[in-house]
Structure 1
Amino acid sequence: MTRSDMSDGELAETLARAAGALLLDLRTSSGMAGRELGDAGDAAANELLVTALRKARPNDGLLSEESKDTKDRLSQKRVWIIDPVDGTREYGEGRDDWAVHVGLSVDGKAAIGAVALPALEMTLSSERPDISPRRADTLRMVVSRSRPAKEAVAVSKKLDAELIPMGSAGAKAMAIVRGEADVYLHSGGQYEWDNCAPVAVAQAHGLHCSRIDGGPLAYNCRNPYLPDLLICHKQDAETILALVGSS
């Protein structure tokens, strides 16, 4: 089967896994570290993903963190939204909480996605929602390692939730899918490539995904800035959104 013959979900998963393998090999064999490794990884993974998507889906639009944006995508129904290395700093530091995002927006919604966690040897996909996210009795909330969002900290206190510092957006979102955490509440600023693929995967696994005011997450917008996000178990969404509104 060639990549052009794959379903969108199969393609997203295959490419996320391939980019992850490339990044692991680069980190092991290049002798680079830190910012130098992060920049090299971004460039190499972006070239792999963009080249493959242009070949496999030549009529689709494309938005990548590492490529110059053009407005051609705005007239297209289907737009691939990718982040070649989500968590460049974590990747460069040799950590495992970084990811590769390959998402597909259809009519402005996160329709298809794959998130590779290469250092954990794991790729999660909207095509194969084969995990049932587990909710803990005491809620666990993932937050930024360096700059926890003030709304998340305030809500965690009201919920008596445990805070779990973690790196990339993809790693945080997949922690909910994997049952390692229960809430990802972010208000510190993101772009569409930070959460399109994670949201598609989380939704396929039955989780709630929205803006922190409860509104929908919109993709392929003229300005790709998408600053806030809530991913959690559906049973907790109403309570968390109310707490955000009152904080």
Structure 2
Amino acid sequence: MSMTDAELAAQLATAAGRILLQVRDCGLITGQALGKAGDQTANQFLCHALREQRPDDGLLSEEEKDNSERLSHSRVWIIDPVDGTREYGEARADWAVHVGLAIEGVASIGAVALPGMDVVLRSDQPQPLPPGAPIPRMLVSRSRPAPEALAVAELLGAELLPMGSAGAKAMAVVRGDAEIYLHTGGQYEWDSCAPVAVAAAHGLHVSRADGSPLVYNQADTYMPDLLICRPDWAERVLAAMRSLPV
């Protein structure tokens, strides 16, 4: 019997994570060169496997030249072979592998591997959300926290948690390590498709920073902002965003 889309996503994310750890652990490449080698190796594996397993679907990868042919497909796999290349190169744990499937523009199925933690989170195996903290913990970029996110954190009295990749931040909310991930610094579809599918399956709120839906497989793959949070914080975060000066 053939694998379901969700099983395929999880298998591919897991295998790509193992490949990336092997590339890094061989110790022959370091720094930026390691990030590039990891990206290329994992991308080649994922793209070949998806074209083999789902030849009739579209494909969008951060590491492949975009092909507008995907726009004619209702099902498009959207992948990020290494989300958090710098963290991967530094042998940190806060990087991820994203394998997502958008159906009719909606992030519907996904798997996010966190190889540094030996964890894979899947849209088809949601776990109950752990209890939230009374003072919200809000995830921000390690290197360049967005001014809007900092302003919202101040309005909500939130504790800031700097972290690496977008996938690692989104999965921290899924895992109960934080309540809010608000990003306003600009991303691309591959940064959030798989994490959004997993987060939504776990009952989290997912939207643009103004509350509008996230739409995938667009001609322009740029996505300006993103909110993933526990449902009980969604309206407060969106109200805080609306109160900021334009």
* TM-score, normalised relative to structure 1: 0.97
| Residue type of the alignment partner of 1:198 | P
| Residue type of the alignment partner of 1:112 | I
**CA apart distance, 1:236:** 1.1
CA distance in 2, matches of 1:142, 1:111: 24
Tell me how many residue pairs correspond in the alignment. 244
- Where 1:141 maps in the other structure, the secondary structure is strand
- Give CA-to-partner distance per residue, 1:130-166, whole Å, 9 cap, x none: 2424311110000000100111100111111100000
Which residue pairs with 1:64 in the alignment? 61
CA distance in 2, matches of 1:168, 1:134: 24
- Where 1:94 maps in the other structure, the secondary structure is coil
Structure 1 unmatched runs, 5+: none
CA distance in 1, matches of 2:83, 2:207: 20
- Where 2:220 maps in the other structure, the secondary structure is coil
Which residue pairs with 2:241 in the alignment? 244
**CA apart distance, 1:219:** 0.1
Instruction: Give 4+ residue runs of structure 1 displaced > 3 Å after superposition.
Output: none
- Where 2:65 maps in the other structure, the secondary structure is coil
Equivalent of 2:158, from 126, 137, 161? Answer: 161
| Residue type of the alignment partner of 1:229 | L
CA distance in 2, matches of 1:16, 1:139: 30
CA distance in 1, matches of 2:241, 2:130: 23
CA distance in 2, matches of 1:34, 1:95: 12
Which residue pairs with 1:216 in the alignment? 213
| Residue type of the alignment partner of 1:170 | G
| Residue type of the alignment partner of 1:118 | P
Is 1:76 matched with 2:69?
A: no
- Where 1:132 maps in the other structure, the secondary structure is coil
Which residue pairs with 1:122 in the alignment? 119
CA distance in 2, matches of 1:205, 1:153: 26
**CA apart distance, 1:94:** 1.0
CA distance in 1, matches of 2:235, 2:217: 27
| Residue type of the alignment partner of 2:180 | V
Which residue pairs with 1:185 in the alignment? 182
**CA apart distance, 1:102:** 0.1
Equivalent of 1:25, from 14, 22, 25? Answer: 22
Structure 2 unmatched runs, 5+: none
**CA apart distance, 1:246:** 0.8
Equivalent of 2:82, from 82, 85, 88? Answer: 85
- Where 1:221 maps in the other structure, the secondary structure is coil
Alignment of structure 1 residues 95-174 onto 2, 5 Å: 95-174=92-171
Equivalent of 2:232, from 219, 232, 235? Answer: 235
Query: Could you tell me whether the CA contact under 8 Å between 1:192 and 1:225 is conserved in 2?
Result: yes
| Residue type of the alignment partner of 2:139 | V
- Where 1:235 maps in the other structure, the secondary structure is helix
CA distance in 1, matches of 2:3, 2:85: 29
CA distance in 1, matches of 2:115, 2:10: 12
RMSD (Å) for aligned C-alpha atoms: 0.8
